[in-house]
Amino acid sequence: MPQTCYRHPNRETGVSCSSCGRPICPECMTPTPVGMRCPECMRQRTRVMRGPAGRPSFGNAPATYVLIAVNVLAFLAEAATGSGGLAEATGSVIRRFALLGNGVSEGEYYRLLTGGFLHAGLLHIAFNMFALFIVGRVIEPGIGTPRFLALYFASLLAGAFGALALTHPYEPTVGASGAIFGLFGAAAVIARGRGMNELASQIGFLIVINLVFTFSVPHISIGGHLGGLVGGVICALAIVAGDRGMLGRRRVAAELAVMALVAVVSVAGAIAVA
């Protein structure tokens, strides 16, 4: 049974206040670093629920923390196999699971997914996981974990498509950047669509800075970043359409269907250009 906003009973929602737990619709949401809060909690300045030692609660963004953990474990596996980084590609994990056009063309389609969980060094994974930690704790509570995961993987696959389209088939690509660019793009679109213009502008500024970095620093996957960004924006447009009642009563199912379509088209495109 879908829940409805406690202030607008005719509006279905999958988001709850991070402080009191009451369901709230987009009009009643106020973003905070640890999730959305309802108008009453914002006015009362009640304390946001936190875990031990003041850390944000795992329950606010469980998928974000799980994705970070999976990426870290994959990086440890790289280190255990003696990977010297992407330039040398000496580790067996990198050789076997990095995104590689030649491998995809030979039927190793799993590389489209696994390449997004590998990284080319400590600085690479540190930067990506910090970005995921920041944007994930903002967007996951705002759209719910199922849609957040669908958005993440659709963006990851769109990034893989973009990377293969602009990378030599024998040049490996690794990193979660495509998925993270998708999350940032989606966050900006959703914030704008929900009337949070200041937040949308701040996120947009971060995207521009990172795009400048993408085009100015060598050995960065331009296609991966652009592909992930485009995929995330398309998914976010579906969420905004749902917010505005354009997708009917089964809006969440329709939004997930759009994200699944982005993923399928990305996989088909990646296979075609590999």
Cα atoms in the 13 Å half-sphere on the side-chain side of 247: 18
How would you classify the pairing of strands 3-4 and 35-37?
A: unpaired
- CA pair distance 100, 274, nearest whole angstrom: 8
- The catalytic site residues sit at 177, 225
Structure token pair of residue 6: 């406690």
- CA pair distance 139, 159, nearest whole angstrom: 19
The DSSP annotation for 122-170 comes to HHHHHHHHHHHHHHHHHHHHHH-HHHHHHHHHHHHHHHHHHHHHHS-TT
∠ CA 237-119-170, nearest 5°, is 90
- CA pair distance 128, 152, nearest whole angstrom: 13
Q: Where are the beta strands (DSSP E) in the chain?
A: 3-4, 12-13, 30-32, 35-37
How many beta carbons lie within 10 A of that of residue 12, not counting itself?
18
Element (H, E) at 207: helix 197-216
How would you classify the pairing of strands 30-32 and 12-13?
A: unpaired
